[in-house]
Structure 1
Amino acid sequence: MQSDPDVPSPARRRTRQTIIEAAIAAWVRDRDVTLSEIADHAGTHRATLHRHFPGRADLLVASIRHSIGEIADATEAAAITQGPPVDALNRLVAAYLTVGDRIRFLFEDHTVANHPAVAQFAAVGGPVIDLIRRGQADGTIDPTVPSAWIERSMWALVYAASEAVDDGTLAAHEALPVLLRTVSDGIVRHPRRDSS
Structure 2
Amino acid sequence: MSEDSPTRRRTRAAIVRAAVSVLARRPEASLAVIAAEAQVSRSTLHRHFADRGDLERAAVAQSVEDITRATVDARPEHGAPLEALTRVIAAYVGVGDRIRFLFHDPRLLGAHSDLADFAAADGPVLALIARGQRDGSMDSAVGAGWIEQALWALVYAAAEAVDGGLLPGHAAAETVARTLVTGIGGDADREAG
TM-score (norm 1): 0.92
Instruction: Give unmatched runs, 5+ long, in structure 2.
Output: none
Alpha-carbon distance change, 24 to 125 in structure 1, aligned in 2, over 3 angstroms: closer
**Given the alignment, which residue of 165, 175, 184 partners 1:187?**
184
Q: Deviations over 1:42-76 (max 9, x none)?
A: 11111111111011100000000000000001001
**Given the alignment, which residue of 59, 62, 85 partners 1:63?**
59
1:137 aligned to 2:150?
Answer: no
| Bigger relative contact order (CA 8 A; separation at least 6) | 2
Q: Which structure 2 residues correspond to residues 22-41 of structure 1 after superposition, within 5 A? A: 22-41=18-37
Alpha-carbon distance, 1:177 to partner: 1.8
In the other structure, the counterpart of 1:107 is 103
In the other structure, the counterpart of 1:16 is 12
| 2-structure distance, mates of 1:58, 1:101 | 20
Alpha-carbon distance change, 124 to 96 in structure 1, aligned in 2, over 3 angstroms: closer
| 2-structure distance, mates of 1:108, 1:27 | 8
Alpha-carbon distance, 1:191 to partner: 2.5
Q: Deviations over 1:137-172 (max 9, x none)?
A: 111111111000010111001100111000111111
In the other structure, the counterpart of 1:158 is 155
| 1-structure distance, mates of 2:91, 2:117 | 21
| 2-structure distance, mates of 1:125, 1:76 | 11
- After superposition, the CA RMSD in angstroms is 1.8
Alpha-carbon distance, 1:192 to partner: 4.9
Answer with 1 or 2: which has the greater Rg: 1
Instruction: Give unmatched runs, 5+ long, in structure 1.
Output: none
More helix by share: 2
| 1-structure distance, mates of 2:72, 2:116 | 20
Amino acid in the other structure paired with 2:170: H
| 1-structure distance, mates of 2:102, 2:62 | 10
Alpha-carbon distance, 1:125 to partner: 3.4
Would you say the 8 A contact 1:86–1:188 is kept in 2? no
